[in-house]
Structure 1
Amino acid sequence: MKRIIDILAASILLIILAPLIGCIMLLIKFKLGSPVFFKQLRPGLNAKPFTLYKLRTMTNEKDRSGFYLTDSKRLTPIGRFLRKYSLDEWPQLINVLKGELSLVGPRPLLMEYIPLYSEAQLKRHDVKPGITGWAQVNGRNSTTWEKRFEYDLWYVENHSFLLDIKILAMTVKKVFRSEGINQSEQDTMERFKGIQAKVSGGQE
């Protein structure tokens, strides 16, 4: 049932949003150049890697040593707007149609975080990841990593059709209110403890 709902909802949303997504892509092309999409490997169900799609919100500027500049320096005004209303997440509906994501589930994080997880934290991969999840409607990027994992694991143990409907309704409310986008004064979620400053490229 969940898969059927994912396919129907993603298909309908992509049809409705296609004109607006096209306009945003043209704006990104004009302001940031190519590519307009950001692609990155993320862990899916059972931590199997898949390519996640987002609309690009950052430049690819690096320092003299070849390291990416901080998020605050690479995140553009249009990028902040897209993130504020989660417009950059819309291409993930393609991931939903491909069966790599669900509408609701723990958000897929970075592949390089996996070796840092405890045995309990690894259980977040026991269900298919989602575009939105219990952690997102309970703080999103403004919460701590400890609470974020706590919410994800709670969802794994308690997920149900009615809970997914509740999360989707709460997500719409959160997006319109632009709540929990950033963590304190940072432009994106603080990196998981133990990850070095040099990143493999792009945004999170």
Structure 2
Amino acid sequence: MGGRFCKRGLDILGASVGILLSLPILIVVAILIKFDSRGPVFYTQLRVGENRRRRNRRYHQRSDSVDHRSRERRRDNNMGRLFKVIKFRTMVNDAEKKCGPVWATKNDSRITRIGRFLRRTRLDEFPQFINVLKGDMSLVGPRPERPNFVADLSTRINNYTDRLDVKPGLTGLAQVETGYDSDFDSVIKKVDLDLEYIRTWSLWADIKILMRTVIVVITGRGAY
């Protein structure tokens, strides 16, 4: 329990400082996005968050009085709480209107000019400091995925839903070790790293990942 409170304290402090320090950069980024392509500066997307029921079962037995509607909601969202993630738009407007939800590839034509820079430096993720302050996310943890991807991958990868035992993160072990998902093999590698992070979690591990993230942002390593 104490570890969770310390982690939440780090989240609030880190996200607050992150917003204050990056605010001038974020304003410039917003202007560049508007000049670069038509469409909104930000976009929101539904993601699957922490499964608090799984977490609570470590300390308490499940109650037999859970109603039918609650069970249906858990089934619909793959046992994780749904929330809207906030990001800078890096693709053309309505990028998935024709092709549907697919992973971005290295030379993806849907990515805008400024979008390539934002993805390479991970600046597109910075608005998620707001999600961290709201409590939807943590600074460090497995990346939140879309419900349809979670539904698919949970049937194809063993223990995939174990990622939902903790809050999703703005950055994580998988993110500093690899780039964006581009195929199924890269997803499997990231899941292994996510589960390793959960098994070996410590506050010091979070701090080290945050320091490594700064290097990724500066160098643009491992991103499209």
TM-score by length of 2: 0.74
Structure 1 position 22 matched with structure 2 position 27: yes
Structure 1 position 136 matched with structure 2 position 169: no
The AA in structure 1 aligned to 2:42 is: F
Structure 1 position 110 matched with structure 2 position 146: yes
Larger deviation, residues 17-26 vs 76-85: 17-26
Deviation at 1:121, TM superposition (A): 0.9
Are 2:123 and 2:217, in contact at CA under 8 Å, matched by a contact in 1?
Answer: no
Within a 5 Å distance, the mapping from 1:56-135 to structure 2 comes to 56-60=89-93, 67-68=98-99, 71=104, 72-116=108-152, 117=154, 118=157, 120-135=159-174
Distance 1:178 1:16 in 2: 19
Q: What's 2:198 paired with?
A: 156
Q: Deviations over 1:120-160 (max 9, x none)?
A: 11000000010111111111327722211110111111111
Residue number among 30, 33, 51 corresponding to 2:84 in the alignment: 51
Deviation at 1:98, TM superposition (A): 0.2
Distance 2:114 2:196 in 1: 35
Distance 1:86 1:95 in 2: 16
Query: Structure 1 runs of 4+ off > 6 angstroms?
Result: none
The AA in structure 2 aligned to 1:91 is: P
Distance 1:86 1:12 in 2: 17
SS at match of 2:139: strand
SS at match of 2:118: helix
Q: Deviations over 1:93-127 (max 9, x none)?
A: 00000001111000111211222214511000000
TM-score by length of 1: 0.81
The AA in structure 2 aligned to 1:123 is: D
The AA in structure 2 aligned to 1:77 is: R
Deviation at 1:82, TM superposition (A): 0.9
Identity percentage over the alignment? 43
Q: Deviations over 1:51-91 (max 9, x none)?
A: 0000011112569xx51498522111111011111111110
Q: Number of paired residues?
A: 180
The AA in structure 2 aligned to 1:133 is: G
Deviation at 1:34, TM superposition (A): 3.1
Structure 1 position 179 matched with structure 2 position 221: yes
Distance 2:39 2:95 in 1: 17
Are 1:35 and 1:56, in contact at CA under 8 Å, matched by a contact in 2?
Answer: yes
The gaps in structure 1 that reach 5 residues or longer are: 183-204
The AA in structure 1 aligned to 2:161 is: L
Are 1:61 and 1:68, in contact at CA under 8 Å, matched by a contact in 2?
Answer: no
TM-aligned CA distance change 1:144 to 1:37, over 3 Å: same
**Structure number, greater radius of gyration:** 2
Point out the structure with the larger helix share: 2
